[in-house]
Amino acid sequence: MKDKVVLITGGTSGIGRACALAFGQAGARIVVTGRDEARLQETARALADLGIVHHTVRADVGVEADSERAVAETIQAFGQLDVLLNNAGISMRARFQDVDLDVIRRLMQTNFFGTVYTTKFALPHLLASKGSVVGISSVAGYRGLPGRTGYSASKFAMHGFLEALRTELLPQGVHVLLACPGFTASNIRQVALAADGSAQGESPRDEQKMMTSEEVAQHILNAVRHRRRDLVLTSQGKLTVFLNKWLPSLTDKLVLNHFRKEEKGVL
């Protein structure tokens, strides 16, 4: 990663922030985007404290012009782009029968179109560097999760997009990685959208039992270094993907039972 330039969307908290620190400590120059200026400055201070060369961009990946500007500022600041981490994302927790359709639209705009927009503008530079496109996805991109219909839909869409892109780019030497953490101790659940689109503000799960954002970031860093195709993390995540492939009807029942426990707050 020495002197590589890494652009991380949604890099002000959770996995994105942990990746900014991990890639920066590995020698990369870091560009972080986020919608919250205060959090951007907090992340900038953390990077500066470690002596990491960095640049911050206040941007919303769901806005095409913001994504274009984030890439333009990256090139203006450092003259190249080697790794794009499409990390920005939002989640939801609500049964589909109860959810406002605007919640689904918001998830698709950020999680899917945010990836499409930023990748589109970054691609000429990644072709030049034969760099990496990373999608920070989820096990929900392999297996639809009840209570997270919009989130699952957005991650399935991300998977289809990046798989097709990977195939297109095979002759041109650009690496495409789909990184799928399992349940991770990050803030994405605290800011997950409720049925009416408001932030739920708390997690129904025991965060202490989960892989930390810092651990996830190290796995992603190693996967980029080795130009891996796929990364599925946590034993529960790997088991879910395996069972859904080979025993889908059983997996339906297991996932539904898990969701019911989550609704009751017993996880």
**Distance spanning both ends of the chain, measured CA to CA:** 38
Q: Strand pairing partners for 33?
A: 57
What Rg, from alpha-carbon coordinates, does the chain have? 18
Q: Using an 8 Å Cβ cutoff, are 58 and 253 in contact?
A: no
Q: How far is CA 228 from CA 188, 193, 221, in A?
A: 25, 32, 10
Q: Is 151 a catalytic residue?
A: yes
By C-alpha distance, which of 211, 191, 207 is closest to 199?
A: 191
Q: Identify the active-site residue in 23, 121, 151, 161.
A: 151
Share in percent of the chain as helix, strand, coil (round to 5): 55, 15, 30
> How many residues comprise the chain?
267
- Token look-up 């039972």 returns 257
Catalytic residues: 151
